């Protein structure tokens, strides 16, 4: 089973991300991941734009995939987010949103990832910094 | 129409919070709101606990209701979150989760709210600080 | 040597907080601390108000004292901040500023503290959430 | 007077950054700035490393210079930070520290900057996200 299939097998169990939100994993490398969601009516806030919780959930899943990238083949998850900061830059109403998670620090018991969420034209909608902890 | 009915009428349109996540508004006062969600399988992450995006979405809706509390009767939303920090303290697998949003600063063009997310025994699962901006 | 004297003995070595910034430890309890600074010209930013770095430094020292409160008597420091979020609510130009650090989660390898910075009338100037890690 | 001289003339009045902390402005472009500090004993925390408040102050000044870059020639400051998140990645004991502030969103009344703090070998010590507001 290749890496992305392994990631999908594990995170299909993340029912909030995969089912309720519709997030799909599209790329996994060492300490790196990209996830996507196609904006639909179920993602809207009361103003008709994408609800902040969608952007957060998309970024949080990208973090979880990237931070656990090295043990996904064994079906194991060791890292969880303990702390996240999200800055909302702009919003959108349509298209595919992509979260890209990159490691900026990997320690033995803690890690820090930077996650960008962009629309289909590459415009950044949100920047997220997440601190993870080994469980 | 009372205040909570007005809030529900507006935020039923937040389809990600109200439908995908199942958040319900249970109290609205001036610059204060409480929202709840009952944990179900759709809220789980790959470890079987509540996904971080659920806690964030619940807190973000409580912020939106509280920050807009003064104009909900007119069906108007002026305040959006531009920035949020969430610290995850512990997790749970069952029960009703409650987010309580309180204003800690209200300016003319920006505001800051503190939102606690607790389980049904009052144990705090996450603390959120959200900065809002008037649109 | 009492607890506050032990704390001062350790943190006198924090030369940035104690000398450059002039922070003084005024209370130490289990997982709780209060620190103060008296606003002077050296604390001003280019607008004449208190520079954000002063409020941050004051809060960060209060965190360090509180998080290490249990081992200060032995002169040991085990906890460091790995992540902080500060929201600036208002500013001031004079008086004594007080940071109060309270534990909101204490785990074996990580902790979360909430720190308020207030002026001498009790008006909150900044709220800080800090995640600590055991070294 | 060139741009960097204008920036220095304004921010010499930031006495906490320029005097107490010893921060120097080394580059200013549109919505971009670099500031430096040379680590000395006055910057140490109780463990002998650089105190978190030094990294924060350095980053906060870089933000202030960058965010106000367009009006520094007139000696005017319109933008202040209302909210900052700092993740501490690693620490150092010596050398020159550089904070580089880049705009990631510029709106009419709010802005978001990303600021990296690196040591003299380019290793990143802290990543900061700051939301600014027009006063």
Beta-carbon separation of B51 and A16 below 8 A: yes
Largest Cα–Cα distance in chain B? 43
A·D CB contacts under 8 A: 32
Please give the average per-residue pLDDT across B62-84, as a whole number: 95
Please give the average per-residue pLDDT across A44-64, as a whole number: 97
Residue A55 has pLDDT above 70, yes or no: yes
Q: How far is C114 from chain A (nearest CA, A)?
A: 13
Alpha helices (runs of H) in D1-135, residue ranges in sequence order:
3-11, 15, 52-67
Is the CB of D74 inside 8 Å of chain C's CB atoms?
no
Nearest to A104 among D85, D105, D124 (CB): D124
Is the CB of A74 inside 8 Å of chain B's CB atoms?
no
Subunits close to D (at least 3 CB pairs below 8 A):
A, B, C
What pLDDT, in 10s, does the model give residues C58-84? 999 999 999 999 999 898 999 999 999
pLDDT given at position C1 = 62
pLDDT averaged over chain C? 96
* ipTM for the whole complex: 0.97
pLDDT given at position D55 = 98
Residue C42 has pLDDT above 70, yes or no: yes
**pLDDT < 50 stretches in chain D:** none
pLDDT given at position B37 = 98
pLDDT given at position B1 = 62
Beta-carbon separation of D87 and A127 below 8 A: no
Q: How far is A115 from chain B (nearest CA, A)?
A: 14
Please give the average per-residue pLDDT across A51-77, as a whole number: 96
pLDDT averaged over chain B? 96
Beta-carbon separation of D90 and A112 below 8 A: no
- Give the span between the Cα atoms of D42 and A118, in whole angstroms: 42
Beta-carbon separation of C82 and A109 below 8 A: no
What range defines the domain where residue C63 resides? 3-134
Q: How far is D129 from chain C (nearest CA, A)?
A: 9
Whole-number percent of chain A with pLDDT over 70: 99
Is the CB of D78 inside 8 Å of chain B's CB atoms?
no
In the stretch 41-70 of chain A, residues with CB closer than 8 A to chain C read none
Contact A52, A59 (CB under 8 A): no
Q: How many domains does chain B have?
A: 1
In this prediction, residue B118 has a pLDDT band, given cuts at 50, 70 and 90, of: very high
A·B CB contacts under 8 A: 131
User: How far is the CA of D93 from the CAs of C58, C129, D44, D120, in angstroms?
Assistant: 21, 26, 8, 11
Beta-carbon separation of A83 and C131 below 8 A: yes
Q: What is the CATH number of the domain that holds A65?
A: 3.10.129.10
Residues of A in contact with C80 (CB under 8 A): none
What pLDDT, in 10s, does the model give residues C77-107? 999 999 999 999 999 999 999 999 999 999 9
In this prediction, residue B45 has a pLDDT band, given cuts at 50, 70 and 90, of: very high
DSSP secondary structure, A77-130, as one string: --EEEEEEEEEE----SSSEEEEEEEEEEE-SSEEEEEEEEE-TTS-EEEEEEE
pLDDT given at position C123 = 95
pTM of the model: 0.97
pLDDT given at position A1 = 62
């Amino acid at each position: 089973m290749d890496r992305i299939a392994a990631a999908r097998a594990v995170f299909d169990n993340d029912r909030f991300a995969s089912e309720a939100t519709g997030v799909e994993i599209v790329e996994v490398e060492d300490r790196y991941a990209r996830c996507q969601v196609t904006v639909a009516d179920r993602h809207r806030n009361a103003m008709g734009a994408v609800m902040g919780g969608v952007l957060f959930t998309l970024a949080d899943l990208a973090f979880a995939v990237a931070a656990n990238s090295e043990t996904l083949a064994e079906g194991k998850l060791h890292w969880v987010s303990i702390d996240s900061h999200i800055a909302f830059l702009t919003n959108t109403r349509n298209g595919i949103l992509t979260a890209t998670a990159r490691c900026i620090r990997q320690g033995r018991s803690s890690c820090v990832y930077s996650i960008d969420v962009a629309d289909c034209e590459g415009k950044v909608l949100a920047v997220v910094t997440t601190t993870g902890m080994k469980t």
